[in-house]
Amino acid sequence: MSTPPRRTQVGIIGAGPAGLFLAHLLHRQGIKSVILETRTREEVEGTIRAGVLEQWTVDLMQDLGLGERMRREGHFHRGITLRFAGESHHLDFEDLTGGKRVTVYPQHEVLKDLVAARLADGGELHFGVRDVGLHDLTTDRPRLTYTTRDGEPQVLHCDFIAGVDGSQGLSRQSIEGRTEYGHLYPFGWLGILVEAPPSHHELIYARHERGFALLSTRSPEIQRLYIQCGPTDDVAEYPDERIWSELHRRLETVDGWTLTEGRIFQKGVIGMRSFVCDRMQHGRLFIAGDAAHIVPPTGAKGLNLAVADAVYLSRGLDCFYRTGRQDGLDRYTETCLRRIWKAERFSWYMTTLLHTNPAESPFEHRIRLADLDYVVHSRAAATALAENYVGLPLD
């Protein structure tokens, strides 16, 4: 006996940042949604990713009642430190942006908070589904088909579908007439988690002739560090001794600052790329987050861009259900892309500024150093960097 079709207002494919934030925003607006996720809850909450939250993202979490644990366990920094030529230069973002700060709170912790709140609100969130299909997207009755983790086939009728199923998901493939823009960077990051106390009170971004390095924090006991490496390097090529040697050399200063070592308990290499899909809607389907764009992590924009997409889409849907007007939904792609391309520009800028490129000429190397020197000695340049880092205002 087949299961009768079910219905909701918005079907959401994916329980990442964009999907979960969208569901919470819609819930506040009185709009019903159902989230379908192919991964298990343990897989969603166990995907370890760093997280630097823009000020408006922090404010949104507080406004939605999702910020209690973040306030307790997050790290709030006045700014960042740029390090090059053996010297450190502090950029005071609070001063440069009228009080905005840097909040370090890992993405997987954000997801844990969102999942727990969604389930506590009684919202539908189905993990471990498979065989998701999108149908009738250009009609006013689109539908999703899927199989539950128990093997039951399901049909979900929707008014709209939000495809937030990541860069490898099916949703983007259903966007007709799209153009995709991409850029591969000739380097990657080797990231490690370390049992050690903090070596510094805020993030350090370092450019060194041997390559980029980043010092971040996870908790008072756990630190996150990265070094530039080849995009296809094998973790086995980096024993602990080599990693510490590279970190000490790339983060060293002329004033004798020292890095605190500890037990490395996780290593991983990630490649770096930029990607933008120039069309984010087709009929009643709207894509968001990694399904529509990817940024290198240097600019700390990935999660924040996904949440911005969710905000813009929720505004369009709210207007539609309150007034019947579709102009907000019609402008969804245009509105999102203005912010996306600015974030791509900033991420590209930070990445090329701080990394050494094997193909970089001595002239280009000197240009990068001059750019860094300009940023740390010009309030106007430092303000431009700070404004982008803490988050441009939402349109």
Reply yes or no on whether 297 is catalytic: yes
Last residue of a domain, one of 310, 325, 346: 346
- Number of folded domains in the chain? 2
Give which of 297, 231, 225 is closest to 265, Cα–Cα: 225
pLDDT tens digits, 336-363: 999 999 999 999 999 999 999 988 899 9
pLDDT confidence tier of residue 1, bands split at 50, 70 and 90: very low
Give which of 129, 111, 108 is closest to 34, Cα–Cα: 129
For residue 51, give every residue at least 6 positions away whose Cβ sits within 8 Å of its Cβ, in sequence order, or none. 104, 105, 106, 107, 108, 109, 110, 303
Q: Is the same domain home to 282 and 317?
A: yes
Q: Is the same domain home to 150 and 21?
A: yes
Mean pLDDT of the chain: 95
How far apart CA 11 and CA 7 sit, in angstroms, is 9
Q: Is the same domain home to 195 and 206?
A: yes
The answer to whether residue 63 is domain-embedded is no
Catalytic residue among 24, 27, 75, 77, which? 77
Q: Is the same domain home to 229 and 285?
A: no
Catalytic residue among 301, 312, 332, 355, which? 301
pLDDT tens digits, 127-185: 999 999 999 999 999 999 999 999 999 999 999 999 999 999 999 999 999 999 999 99
pLDDT tens digits, 358-390: 888 999 999 999 999 999 999 999 999 999 999
pLDDT confidence tier of residue 83, bands split at 50, 70 and 90: very high
Mean pLDDT on 48-60: 89
Reply yes or no on whether 205 is catalytic: yes
Catalytic residue among 17, 106, 296, 297, which? 297
pLDDT tens digits, 202-223: 999 999 999 999 999 888 899 9
Q: Is the same domain home to 338 and 256?
A: no
The answer to whether residue 166 is domain-embedded is yes
Catalytic residue among 105, 146, 185, 205, which? 205
At 42, which CATH number? 3.50.50.60
Helix, strand counts (H, E) of the chain: 12, 21
pTM: 0.95
The answer to whether residue 121 is domain-embedded is yes
Reply yes or no on whether 389 is catalytic: yes
Bridge partners, 229 (sequence order): 188
Q: Is the same domain home to 197 and 225?
A: yes
pLDDT of residue 51: 82
The answer to whether residue 395 is domain-embedded is no
Q: Over 80: is that where the pLDDT of 5 sits?
A: no
Catalytic residue among 105, 226, 312, 389, which? 389
How far apart CA 143 and CA 171 sit, in angstroms, is 13
The answer to whether residue 283 is domain-embedded is yes
Q: Which domain holds residue 254?
A: 77-104+183-272+356-390
The answer to whether residue 381 is domain-embedded is yes
